[in-house]
Amino acid sequence: MPAVLIQGEDDQVVHPVNQQQLARQWLQLKGLPPGPATRVTAKPAGRAGSRHAHEIHDYLVGRKVLLRVVRIAGLRHAWSGGDPAFEFNAKAGPDASRMMLEFLGRHRR
């Protein structure tokens, strides 16, 4: 079962350490080594409509990404790229919904 974990680094409600702990637990449940990500991609602010820089940490098994951990700089407790008309949504991006769809779309049965 693949997993994607998206977290704002400035979240004061759900502390970012929770994301780190979830990633370690997921790796342990899958019997994978707890080491650093296989691939890290840094995305600067201003790219693809995002006003927040973010990092994508991919954990691969073979050539397939099974765990993706996204850390978004400057994001508080909100859905990144969401509709600001709703509570806990941040328009600034990156678009977390798109990230989820793209990631999960690669993992079909």
Task: State residue 52's pLDDT score.
Answer: 86
pTM of the full structure: 0.90
Give the DSSP letter string of 8-70.
ETT-SSS-THHHHHHHHHHHHHTT---S--SEEEEE-TTGGG-SS-EEEEEEEETTEEEEEEE
**For every one of its 109 residues, what pLDDT tens digit does the chain have, with 9 covering 90 and above?**
899 999 999 999 999 999 999 999 999 999 988 888 999 999 988 765 578 899 999 999 889 999 999 999 999 999 999 898 999 998 888 999 999 999 999 987 7
